[in-house]
Amino acid sequence: MKGERKINSKKEELRRHLIKTLMKEPVRKVKFSGNRITLEFYGHKISDKITIKREKHVAEWSRKRREIFIDKKFGRREIEKSFRALCVHEAIEKFLVEHLKLELDEEAHVIATQKEKEYIESIRGNWRSHTLKIFWAWHKMGEK
């Protein structure tokens, strides 16, 4: 029992260290080409297809394909900066869950949101305005 707790404690410590490292890691070389996003994060090149379609969430990623879905109502009305920031968020979140096996809501989403904020600020967007757009889009879709 004692040895098991010690191992679990060490694993948790390593996991916390990884999360702190990821929070500090910059997103580099973000490029949008046609219907694709490509970026570099944590020493990995991430590339996903972007599909705009009727979606029950503002944005989501596929667990089966290298694809990000953005709701068509959000994509048409919103400014380019918010649309791109959502794509960055989803690509990073997908990478963290699939490759680093982080928990979706407690870990991956938090890190992806931080990277989304850093991206929006790097392209001289307004974080508060962006988050309000996302909030109201989710609210209109019946999310809580």
55-78: pLDDT as tens digits: 777 888 888 888 888 877 775 555
The pLDDT score that the predictor gives to residue 44 is: 97
pLDDT digits (tens, 9 = 90+) for 72-89: 777 555 568 889 999 999
Long-range pairs for 47-53 at CB < 8 Å and ≥24 separation? 48/87, 48/90, 48/91, 48/94, 50/87, 52/76
Residues paired with 33 in a beta bridge: 36
Q: What are phi and psi of 125, to 5 degrees?
A: -95, 170
Which pLDDT score, from 0 to 100, does residue 143 have? 52
User: What residues make up the domain containing 129?
Assistant: 2-140
- Overall domain count for the chain: 1
Per-residue pLDDT tens for 13-72? 999 999 999 999 999 999 999 899 999 999 999 999 998 888 777 888 888 888 888 877
Between CA 46 and CA 38 the distance in angstroms is: 6
Q: Mean per-residue pLDDT for 122-133? A: 90
Could you give the angle at the alpha carbon of 69 between the alpha carbons of 64 and 71, nearest 5°?
A: 150
